[in-house]
Amino acid sequence: MHNQLPTPTQRPRRTRRTATLRRMVRETTLSAANFIAPLFIAEGSGILRPISSMPGHAQRSVDQLDAEIDELLELGIPAVLLFGIPLHKDSTGSGAWDSSGPVPSAIRAIKARAPELIVVADVCMCEYTDHGHCGVLTSGEPATITVDNDPTLELLGRAAVAYAEAGADIIAPSAMMDGQIAAIRSALDAMGYTNMLIMSYAAKFASAFYGPFREAAESTPQFGDRRSYQMDPANGREALHEVALDVAEGADMLMVKPAGAYLDIIRAVTERYDLPLAAYQVSGEYAMIKAAAQNGWIDERRAALESLIAIRRAGAGMIITYYAKEAARWLREENS
């Protein structure tokens, strides 16, 4: 005799029945207000140079920023993250603190046009050094040369002060030098910028997903790699140790980079610390979705928004993403 299966008493599908019900019970929200849009500022004028590995993005000179800034504001995106591409590089990356360099010039231009837009200035040497590493190098045999941590701290502080003087709202050090938050905080405070926010790239991993960024920022190392100062992707507990150090040194905001392959780190940081947390959906994450969509393998809109909601669900309140504009448009359409 056939045994009749018991009728389910719990039916989670009930709340999934219609789009309106699904919106009503949605646990995680995503909006343009969560996004920070990266911009690549090229020194010079009349420059609008597409980045081949990042469709839809370009290097821009300051005089080509107006339309982009207006579009970001219209879409409700509250912040930008600036990277500079100088005309000339040297061994110490001195262009990083040049008051007339691409980032300070862009900060002033953006603040003149859109004072309400939050400007985050990345602080690192890699775009400015002729060797492509994130600080000054040690001397010695080629096989033993690496980034010299402590002398680099002073240079990071000088760059941070230059960006503060230009009008940045947030300083975001990404060099992964030991003690960089304390050094930058000291440099800023000494010059009277006691209210300047520091968003720490607290857990920045030596990731394969940075590839397209190296083209965009022209920052590929001329030798070796960055694994002696960026984190081993295998280490989770070490990431929390790095975060703890930056919190103790005075970071106001934290960041995990990359985002997609490190959702567990985002969640762990969220559970342990109450500081605002950003996650960086990096160039390779963006490029993979773009490439798969261009080949017809995935639905770009659904995949991109799914990736972003996952980062929010893991605990990040702010998402640095190259999808900022497109995602803001898609979300506006869904909510209209």
Residues 36, 199: Cα–Cα separation, whole Å: 12
Catalytically annotated residue among 89, 111, 257, 290: 257
Q: Which of 83, 173, 189 is nearest to 135 (CA)?
A: 173
- Residue 89 annotated in active site: no
* Burial tier of 278 (Cβ tally within 10 Å: 0-12, 13-18, 19+): buried
H helix count then E strand count, the chain: 11, 10
Active site residue 257: yes
Question: What span, in angstroms and rounded, lies between the C-alpha atoms of 64 and 68?
Answer: 8
CA-based radius of gyration for the chain: 21
297 backbone dihedrals φ, ψ, rounded to 5°: -85, -25
Cis peptide before 102 (omega within 30 of 0): no
What DSSP element (H or E) covers 79?
strand 79-85
Could you give the CA distance from residue 26 to residue 137 in angstroms, rounded to a whole number? 50
DSSP labels, 237-264: HHHHHHHHHHHHHT-SEEEEESSGGGHH
| Catalytic-role residue among 89, 204, 290, 325 | 204
Please identify every residue annotated as catalytic. 204, 257
